[in-house]
Structures are given as C-alpha cells and as structure tokens.
Amino acid sequence: MHIKKTVRKLLFNISSGIMDILYRRPYSDPEAKERLRSENKLLHLDLVITECCSLKCRNCSNLMQYYSSPCNLTSEDVINDIGTLLECISIGELKIIGGEPFVNQGVLTDVLQYLSENYTQKVDTINIITNGTIIPNEDCISTLAGIPRVIVTFSNYGNLSSHQEEFIKLCKQKGIRYSIIDDSFYWLDFGRPDKYDEPQEFVYRQYNNCYNRKNCNALYRGCLYVCPRQAHGIHLGMLPDINDEYVDLHASSYGNTDELRHSVIELVRRKTPISSCSYCIIGKYVHIPRAVQQRRSDPF
C-alpha cells in the first residue's frame, strides 16, 4: 500500500495532468445514467453542519476562509432540514461536512441519532468527512460505533491532521468503519470567488465536468444547492443569489412532497451552469499544494 502511494505521488510530480486523467478523471461521469433514472433518490448529498473549521486553508474550495464569524448550525435546524428532504426523497451517500464536522460534535451526534431512528431505509451510507484534527468525545464515538452505515473519511493533510492516527486507533478499537484519502497531494484551484472573464463554452464545460456538481449537492441552512461553494458564497454575499438556482426546502410554494421532490430532481439534473460557475476556475485544472494555511498577514 505504501509503495503504491509513493509511486502515485512520484507520478503526480512527473505529470499531474496525466495523473488527473488516470486517477481523478474529471471528464468521467459513471453515474450520469443513474442520475437521470433516479426519480426518488439523490445519489450524493453534502449536509453542512458548521461553518467553523479547526484549520484555515487558504484555498478551501468551500470558502470557509472567508467567514469572519463562522457559526455552528443547531440540531433543530439541521434535523428539520434533513427530515424535510428525506420526507420526499432518499439518499445514496449522505456526507456530513463542515468546516470540520467534529467542531460541532454535539449536533453531529444528535443528527446521527436521529438518522438511526428515522428514515433508516432512506439513507444508504453516512460518510463523515474530517480533517483529523479532533478526537470526538465518548458520546460521539459510541454513536458512530452504533450505526453500521457510518464511515469516517480522513482527508489526510499530513502533519496538519494532528489527531488522525489517534482517531484511527479509536476507530479500530470500537469497530468504526473508516477510510483515508491518500491521493490528495495536490488540490485543484477553484480560485477566489471573483467574476472571471471566461467564454461561455469554458463555463459550460467546467460545469459539465465538475466533480462537485456530480457528487456534492449541498444542503445548507434550509436550501439545497448545486455545490457547497455556491451555498457558502451566497451566504457570504460573495456569489450571486439567484433563486431558481437552488431549492428552498421550506418555501410555501411547495404544495406537497411530490412538488418538492420534482424541484430537487430538476436541480441535480440541471444542464446549464449556475451563475456561481462564472466565479470559479476549477475547469482550468490548476494544481496547488493542499491545505496551505492562511496566515493573518496574507491578503485575501
């Protein structure tokens, strides 16, 4: 395993472009047909439970570095939102994200307990994405261990993931499933949330190929967004707030759950880019070092 990782890292250094095609495969969309067929299921969903993070990555694609007063979401709000969504549609992979979700581990525990008692047939797997800086408390650990559908995924930022090894040891002891992302030597640069002067063909192609559009539709503060960057960018007032580019789950205009489900499915199958895509350059496939920390003196 170690040799495989070293060879992969070496190849990334020689030609990151080729390795992108081989490993990250930005152009592939193996679930395209399934997405079109699935009338009652979201294949992937990112559930945001906090804007707080224990790291401050200069190039966080989800724009966490721009929060000057980040907040934890409340159990009541998150449960109300995910319950409303699950009332109308099921979910293949539910990713729980932040920021860093274990910063808000009380809410994380409540949400997991809720999902272990409600809509149990409507969520296939629950994947908690962590940067490995925090050891959860006993209550949280025993909740993680008590739900077989749960998996903890470590983003693995090397030395920055200061408690990853200890957390992994706990996972092994308690029988918690986990995985480690081991190919994140580089990140793709999404750029600052500024309007870029790229031609429409670029924006369409970028949206079409975008990993986030395919795998990371995001539920945040009552609304379903195409991607977490759009969600936070709108909340921060940095990206255009166009109301037909996301679904407000609690809008009174939805007469019943079928109408809401229809809007959700329409959003995830959307063919035209959202306005936020003109403020993003992931489609240039520019590599940057992963998880470089923002210093106080750095200009935004």
Residue ranges that bind ligand SF4, judged by CB under 6 A: 53, 55-57, 60, 62, 64, 98-100, 131, 206-207, 210, 212-213, 226-227, 229-230, 274, 276-277, 280, 282, 291
Cβ nearer to ligand SF4, comparing 213 with 254: 213
Cβ nearer to ligand SF4, comparing 176 with 277: 277
Residue type, 86: L
CB of 132 to ligand SF4, least distance (A): 9
Cβ nearer to ligand SF4, comparing 151 with 210: 210
CB of 243 to ligand SF4, least distance (A): 17
CB of 261 to ligand SF4, least distance (A): 21
CB of 87 to ligand SF4, least distance (A): 26
73-77: long-range contacts at Cβ-Cβ below 8 A with a sequence spacing of 24 or more? 73/48, 73/49, 73/104, 73/107, 73/221, 74/107, 75/106, 75/107, 75/110, 75/111, 77/221, 77/222
107 within 8 A of 136, measured Cβ to Cβ? no
H-type alpha helices, 20-137: 32-37, 75-88, 105-117
CA distances from 119 to 6, 91, 110, 139 (A): 42, 10, 15, 22
CB of 225 to ligand SF4, least distance (A): 9
CB of 112 to ligand SF4, least distance (A): 19
Cβ nearer to ligand SF4, comparing 72 with 86: 72
Cβ nearer to ligand SF4, comparing 60 with 91: 60
Cβ nearer to ligand SF4, comparing 203 with 249: 203
- Rounded Cα–Cα distance for residues 292 and 160 (Å): 10
249-254: long-range contacts at Cβ-Cβ below 8 A with a sequence spacing of 24 or more? 249/81, 249/84, 249/85, 249/219, 249/222, 249/223, 249/224, 250/84, 250/222
